[in-house]
């Protein structure tokens, strides 16, 4: 179990707020993963939460997310002008 002070909870919740609700559980899990087995202080909580937020938004480090191709890049357009699937 991870014990956090009120200030540390506020740090985490403040960084969770900008995320869409469906990403918040992923964010909290990522924070907990980063805080397991380390000495917990305000600085480590902040660093863990910032890294977790970045991971949730952009994907894990070393695993770049798929870049969505634009119509100009892929060159595939259907008759209606929309991207062909």
- At residue 43, the pLDDT reads 97
Residue ranges per structural domain of the chain = 6-58
User: Which pLDDT belongs to residue 51?
Assistant: 97
User: Rounded distance, CA 15 to CA 3, Å?
Assistant: 18
Q: Which two tokens stand for residue 15?
A: 């960084």
More confident residue, 84 or 69: 84
Q: Which pLDDT does position 61 carry in this prediction?
A: 67
Question: Taking a C-beta distance cutoff of 8 angstroms, is the pair 16, 29 a contact?
Answer: no
- How many CB atoms sit inside 10 A of residue 52's CB? 24
> pLDDT tens digit string along 2-54?
899 999 999 999 999 999 999 999 999 999 999 999 999 999 999 999 999 99
Q: What's the mean pLDDT in 64-75?
A: 39
């Amino acid at each position: 179990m991870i014990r956090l002070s009120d200030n540390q909870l506020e740090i985490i919740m403040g960084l969770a707020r900008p995320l869409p609700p469906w990403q918040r559980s992923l964010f909290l899990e990522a924070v907990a993963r980063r805080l397991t087995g380390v000495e917990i202080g305000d600085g480590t909580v902040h660093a863990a939460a910032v890294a977790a937020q970045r991971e949730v938004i952009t994907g894990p480090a070393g695993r770049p997310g798929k870049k969505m191709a634009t119509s100009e890049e892929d060159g595939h357009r259907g008759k209606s002008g929309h991207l062909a699937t």
